[in-house]
Structure 1
Amino acid sequence: MSCCSNSQEKIVTNSSCCGAEGAKESTNTHSCSTEADKATASCCSSEEGSKGIGGSSSKSDTVNKSCCSTVEEKTSCCSNPKGATVGVDSAQEGEEIEYRVYGMDCPSCASTIEKGLQRLKNVISAKVNYNTEKLQVVANGNYSSAQLESTVQNLGFTVERIFQNNKMRIYDVQGMDCGSCAKSIENHLIKIQGVSDVQVSFAAGNMRIEHTNPVDDILKEVSKIGFHASLQTRDRKPVENKRNKHELLNTIISGAFIAIGFVGSYIGFPTFVSTILFANAIVINGYQPIKSAYYAVKSRSLDMNVLMSSAAIGAAIIGEWFEGATVVWLYSLGIYLQNRSMDQTRKSIRNLMNMAPSMAWIRVDNDLIEKPVEEVSVGDTIVIKPGDKIPLDGNIIQGESSVNQAPITGESLPVDKIIGDAVYAGTMNESGSLEVEVTKLIEDTTLSKIIHLVEEAQEQKAPTEAFIDRFASIYTPIVFVLAISVIVIPPLFGFGLWSEWIYKGLALLVVACPCALVISTPVAIVSAIGNAAKNGVLIKGGTFLEIAGKINAVAFDKTGTLTEGKPRVSEIHPINTSETELLSVAYALESHSTHPIAKTIVQYAQDRNILQAEGSLFKNIVGRGVKATINNKVYYAGNHRLFEEMNISLSSVDHIIQSVQQYGSTIVIIGNREKVLGVISVTDTLRTTTVKTLDHLRKVGMEQIVMLTGDNDGTAKRISGQTSINRYFTELLPEDKVTALKQLQREGNKVAMVGDGINDAPALATADLGIAMGGTGTDTAMETADVVLMADNLDKLPYTIKLSRKALTIIKQNIWFSLIIKFIALGLIFPGWLTLWMAVLSDTGAAIIVILNALRLLKSPNH
């Protein structure tokens, strides 16, 4: 029994809690939870302006008497008072609502859904992305979510709402007796500070709350009014797509009918028996496609369901029952296999989502409490045991361990972590127990950003995919019109029998569906982008995947990309003193400088337990060095310009300076006005992976490997001599790097620029492909570049180039295969050699082969 009827409906005697607005209450039965309530109170009020279930509560309500025993506040039993409309949600002007759609077997399904939804009232636009199974609806006013979901289901798909608002959370609620309870919860929670919107559904047994205060506060407030709430966590399974299982069962049953009917026709079954079996097979397998076709036609969409249903019905009309049954059976089997295959490609995002655990152990005083990750706040301390996955981003405050960061960075070896180091959600704690202070909520973690970027990338259409879609939108109507012409025109002018030309036209209808063609590109792109993300490489979309496959020149920023970006002391050259004394004076001079080279020298001295000389009157000399008074003498540490300007002779170290600079190192001269004590050489060393990476790039056919640096010729020459770099540009300012890239492009090269994503932003934007490295913890790198190498090294770059080239190859193979199969099928129609079942195989069979070919991209190419 419903607690209330719609306010616009008439009274339903003895069953409804309340009738039309202003009507008297039902005389016999109320939806009250206690006998006392039934005896003493009206179960209905006639509130003005309040909203029904699913609507937002107002701050004040005029009420009569509660009919629910568990509710302390007074409220109306009617959950749907005046002004509310069942199944209607409120949307702001141009609000975007997202859904997940299950059951699409090719991009034409997405087009059908779009056309069907755009005809609904208050729906401004509808966009469906086949790759990520997402539906984005822009609506205004009181759009009908029930009607929207019903429309999608009528077209043959299942749909599930996605809530993206980081402040919006969904809770399950237990203990509600009727809609009045839902209203009571809304009225109570909307008054709580930090809560901006509440929507409670008695029917669904849940509530959606937009709030900024802690989850525990919400749970306590709900318990105060007699109910129990629990936050829905990420391990709650989404709506299951049962369509596949149902279709498989139908396919098996109808296949058995077809086989019995076919064999029976040869062993003496009466013709009508075989016909009944074939007709049953058509009904069993064809019901859903024909129903979907009906709604697709209403939406003015010409999809595969329309074409296939027309072929099956047409075959039955002309007496080809076996052909019609075979068509729907092969179509059903093909769709089932397509969905199973496509599921493999879509697992890339699902696997990413499942990387991080849904629960976390929180330290509260001396106790450990397990909570859903959604309930954990920034600043909480979580405990990760050996062998457990890390649930949230944070910094280690207690313990040491090795952490396997492969899910985020793609690194093959675990990374040692100590107190102060950052850890990321989804990575694995290998050995020691860790206590981590949470720095990011679940929706802000690096893993969540990766998932978001991968989904966005898979939703973007590559140039090839966009071209194929345009081609298909022209091809299908032309072939459809041609099929109708083939059915009607020849027999009208006496060329052959109607049944003969109808059969050929039906075969042409089936061939008109470009399923294999339109699926050829997106499935390859989804597979490649998902594989890349699994290996610690974020490719921002199909466009960039295609560009990466065409790159023939790679330009590298030197500092921090090819090199460590951390200078190290490489040589000590004392003159007329000991190395210990030289380092002692250098330590004293550089200890008050913030320059990276000064810090390097100080660290070097500390590591060797050198005692710092006592000094005073420290002063930085901008662009030159530093000076201080040591043992009543003024000492200097700086470059050769500093000593030349003070007319201090460098003749004793000239040969050392020339030798060091030729090698590409930076020199720091130590001395006073009387003499030079010595020279310290500082070098930015190559990364351990640089040489191997550049060699691999050369092996995969990269024609130009270029280095861009602000350093002098000596440094560039040294690094190029140690690596496969065949060209370099030196002494560059940031704007000069842009000029260098444009020069490479003018020479006919497709250029990728590899940098850190911050200092090299202009160069990354200028290159045909911008590649940022070290994406973990660097939001700017993720935002600015077209491709992000999540690990702070280059060893994934050759893999990315090879994967992109492999993807391009597979896309071309798929397109040519799809086109060739179509043209062969078209050519076989007019001689009468193409049967209906062959036409179905040319479409669904080709689509399956195309998907299986693209699945090869889920396997990483050898580095």
Structure 2
Amino acid sequence: MSDTVEKHVYRVQGFSCINCAAKFEKNVQHLDGVVDAKVNFGASKLTIYGTASLDELHHAGAFEKLTLFPEKGQLIPAPKEALWKRYFHLVLSALLLLVGYIFNMNILFAGAIILGGFSLFQTGLKNLIQLEFDMKTLMTIAIIGAAIIGQWEEGAVVVILFAISEVLEGFSMDKARASIRSLIEKKPAEALVVRNGTELMLKIEDIEIGDIILVKPGQMLAMDGIVLEGASSVNQAAITGEAVPVEKAAGDEVFAGTLNEEGFLKIKVMKSSEDSTIAKIIHLVEEAQAEKAQSQQFVDRFAKYYTPVIIAIAVLVAIVPPLFLTGGWQKWIYEGLAVLVVGCPCALVISTPVAIVTAIGNAARQGVLIKGGNFLEEMAAVKAIAFDKTGTLTKGTPIVTDFINFSDDEHLFTKVAALERQSQHPLAAAIMKKADNSVDQVEGFISITGKGIIGKINGIEYRIGNTRLFEEIPAEVHTHITSLKTQGKTVMIVGTSTEILALIAAADEVRESSKTVIYKLQQLGIKQTVLLTGDHEAAAEAAGYVAGVTDIAAELLPQDKLTFIKKLSSTYGKTAMIGDGVNDAPALAAADVGIAMGKAGTDAALETADIALMNDELNKLPFIINLSRKTVRIIKQNISLSLIVKLLALLLVIPGWLTLWIAIFADMGITLLVTLNGLRLLR
């Protein structure tokens, strides 16, 4: 859509079915000033390109009594009615039906039809005039037809069952959307801000980057930022899915929507409310729920031709037997009306989206962002997974693994740490982390690029670096160096200008979960797990051996990883790639499913991958595969069940056994069944 066209997003309350959402979308598209409109049924959102007033939008949704409000506005909960008020007409309709059975009076059945089906007829008749044949149109024709041919009691039963099923379907979809609603509710509306020495309670949209906010124990964080003062444990489950609170202190990053459990925190705001991590997560999950899976695209195409075919079959059933075979007009018109009810496409149309919406919401609660139903389906078919090494299979931060001291100086490592404190080398942090706080004073510090560092402590010159920093290295020391390097470790030599004093080896530590995850993936039928890295062969072999992958490819440039992924896909079929979302971008894009280690909201990870693991937890991989496979199974079950039951019901027309009772159970019953089946994914 052109950038010159205004875009407006609204939240919608009141959707009862997916067909109603489609009709609302069409109504909005026909409004003056609207270039295009898209309804996201899963997230209950409307996106408009162009301009339309709220009054016009409410008028477009009047058939469903829809309520709209701007996305960026305050969430206004739907007014709560007493249950007896909301369902009074339905209860009264059921009572009239019951009394009608007792006294066998058609007038009571007619009353039940009018009371229970008034809103249905309002929409159905309008649709009929406009030649729009959706579910409510077909139901209206069937019920009015049943009354005309004298089947008053069956018409009343169909009305009541339809009304009950709509209530239950609405409740089920609300349950499926609950994960999004819970995320939205985790966004505080306001926060305590310090400006010019004064504490102010401001709405989050009025808080600016650089503002200081105060968060007391038990309060939800309103903005993303950096802790300036204080220490506390923060529950980040809304962002990362991790159950255990994370300790936060000065300098640590914190996220909106997380819960401050213990201490008082003073936080500097680093992102606007619209750009906060939780806002991005909500947006991505809602967009993902609107992305149609391949099976849903098939169902949509199928349903487009399915409804006209059903209407044609119903007309033929009503007129062919009386004209050319045996049987009266009343009997076969009744059968034709039953065909209309059985043929409502609601169960078929909702079979896929309810499963997709539920699965993506479930994954979001677990700290896994899946960007669309198509990626869920792709993940279910994956047979090979490629892993980046650094930061994926490994922790991404080196640790000191070996310190071989050839001297008799017990404090040598402390002196090494004092020297490394002056250095910018990536391994310096690992050495300082292992050492006690050093108080040794370093003089004459020099850093020699490509070789190492030199400095004096207590008048003695010490050197730390590679072999090029030392003139002569004894054979015994060379043997140790070779041995450590074959284990994939980086080796540093410690010495003076005349002798070698020690060796320090460091390595990027493999995550504790890596081996378990690889084993579980293999148990799930993943045929190939490959480690891809730009690191040298020895380091790759060492990490791959610990993790238990089936193949290793080292010293790869980004384009080499891309080539390897393409080769993997051609050999094994569907392939996934998991990396950090930045360096591995070409390979992530080439894989059927790109999975990024999210680092609790890294922008690059959220934007470049098809799936993001918000807490960098590899053990979510088996969960994703299980969830995706179960989702695909449920979608196939729902589609098959919808078609088989409708086909069996239609076959009852041949002997003339199809009744409106059977028809309503075949339609509404299956609609509820596929909805409840999809809701199993909430677990």
Structure-1-length-normalised TM-score: 0.75
Deviation at 1:629, TM superposition (A): 7.5
- Taking the aligned partners of 1:748 and 1:687, their CA distance within structure 2 comes to 27
Q: Secondary structure at the match of 2:23?
A: helix
- Taking the aligned partners of 1:682 and 1:577, their CA distance within structure 2 comes to 22
1:204 alignment partner in structure 2 = none
Instruction: Please say which of residues 383-392 and 578-587 is displaced more in the overlay.
Output: 578-587
- Which of 555, 571, 592 lines up with 1:731 in the alignment? 555
- Distance change (3 Å), C-alpha of 1:148 and 1:608: closer
Q: Deviations over 1:825-847 (max 9, x none)?
A: 11112312111122111111111
1:392 alignment partner in structure 2 = 223
- Do the aligned partners of 2:135 and 2:344 also contact (CA within 8 Å) in 1? yes
Q: Secondary structure at the match of 1:728?
A: strand
Alignment of 1:169-184 (within 5 A): none
1:253 alignment partner in structure 2 = 92
- Which of 378, 381, 393 lines up with 1:547 in the alignment? 378
Q: What percentage of aligned pairs have identical amino acids?
A: 44
1:839 alignment partner in structure 2 = 663
Instruction: Please say which of residues 723-732 and 96-105 is displaced more in the overlay.
Output: 96-105
- Taking the aligned partners of 2:6 and 2:375, their CA distance within structure 1 comes to 30
1:111 alignment partner in structure 2 = 22
Q: Deviations over 1:616-649 (max 9, x none)?
A: 4x24233x43456789998653333x25xx7534
- Do the aligned partners of 2:393 and 2:547 also contact (CA within 8 Å) in 1? no
- Taking the aligned partners of 2:8 and 2:196, their CA distance within structure 1 comes to 42
- Do the aligned partners of 1:775 and 1:782 also contact (CA within 8 Å) in 2? no
- Taking the aligned partners of 1:572 and 1:494, their CA distance within structure 2 comes to 97
1:214 alignment partner in structure 2 = none
Q: Secondary structure at the match of 1:477?
A: helix
Q: Secondary structure at the match of 2:266?
A: strand
Deviation at 1:311, TM superposition (A): 0.2
- Distance change (3 Å), C-alpha of 1:835 and 1:764: same
Counterpart check, 1:701 vs 2:612: no
Counterpart check, 1:596 vs 2:393: no
Alignment of 1:178-577 (within 5 A): 234=74, 236-240=75-79, 248-265=87-104, 274-363=105-194, 368-493=199-324, 495-576=326-407
- Taking the aligned partners of 2:494 and 2:195, their CA distance within structure 1 comes to 55
- Do the aligned partners of 1:694 and 1:723 also contact (CA within 8 Å) in 2? yes
Q: Secondary structure at the match of 2:663?
A: helix
Deviation at 1:507, TM superposition (A): 0.7
Deviation at 1:734, TM superposition (A): 2.0
Counterpart check, 1:620 vs 2:448: yes
Counterpart check, 1:609 vs 2:438: yes
Greater RCO (CA < 8 Å, at least 6 residues apart) = 2
Bigger Cα Rg: 1
- Distance change (3 Å), C-alpha of 1:426 and 1:585: closer
Q: Deviations over 1:238-292 (max 9, x none)?
A: 4448799766322211111111101212xxxxxxxx1111111111122111111
Deviation at 1:804, TM superposition (A): 1.3
- Do the aligned partners of 1:621 and 1:627 also contact (CA within 8 Å) in 2? no
- Do the aligned partners of 2:488 and 2:507 also contact (CA within 8 Å) in 1? yes
2:649 alignment partner in structure 1 = 825
1:152 alignment partner in structure 2 = 61
- Distance change (3 Å), C-alpha of 1:449 and 1:528: same
Whichever residue aligns with residue 561 of structure 2, its letter is K
- Do the aligned partners of 1:586 and 1:670 also contact (CA within 8 Å) in 2? no
- Taking the aligned partners of 1:414 and 1:99, their CA distance within structure 2 comes to 34
Q: Secondary structure at the match of 1:382?
A: strand
Alignment of 1:802-821 (within 5 A): 802-821=626-645
Whichever residue aligns with residue 638 of structure 1, its letter is G
- Which of 796, 800, 803 lines up with 2:624 in the alignment? 800
2:480 alignment partner in structure 1 = 656
RMSD of aligned residue pairs (Cα, Å): 2.7
- Taking the aligned partners of 1:148 and 1:430, their CA distance within structure 2 comes to 43
Q: Secondary structure at the match of 2:61?
A: helix
Deviation at 1:444, TM superposition (A): 2.0
Q: Deviations over 1:135-176 (max 9, x none)?
A: 333336xx56534422321x3341313245xxxxx6xxxxxx
1:5 alignment partner in structure 2 = none
- Do the aligned partners of 1:517 and 1:815 also contact (CA within 8 Å) in 2? yes
- Taking the aligned partners of 2:571 and 2:334, their CA distance within structure 1 comes to 58
2:464 alignment partner in structure 1 = 637
Alignment of 1:720-799 (within 5 A): 720-799=544-623
- Taking the aligned partners of 1:537 and 1:405, their CA distance within structure 2 comes to 13
- Name the structure with the higher helix share: 2
Gap regions ≥5 residues in structure 2 = none
- Do the aligned partners of 2:13 and 2:67 also contact (CA within 8 Å) in 1? yes
- Taking the aligned partners of 1:304 and 1:628, their CA distance within structure 2 comes to 83
- Distance change (3 Å), C-alpha of 1:777 and 1:490: closer
- Distance change (3 Å), C-alpha of 1:558 and 1:668: same
- Taking the aligned partners of 2:575 and 2:162, their CA distance within structure 1 comes to 45
Q: Deviations over 1:390-426 (max 9, x none)?
A: 2222221221111111111011211111111111111
- Do the aligned partners of 1:553 and 1:704 also contact (CA within 8 Å) in 2? yes
- Taking the aligned partners of 2:176 and 2:676, their CA distance within structure 1 comes to 10
- Taking the aligned partners of 2:408 and 2:537, their CA distance within structure 1 comes to 32
- Taking the aligned partners of 1:316 and 1:290, their CA distance within structure 2 comes to 13
Deviation at 1:707, TM superposition (A): 1.3
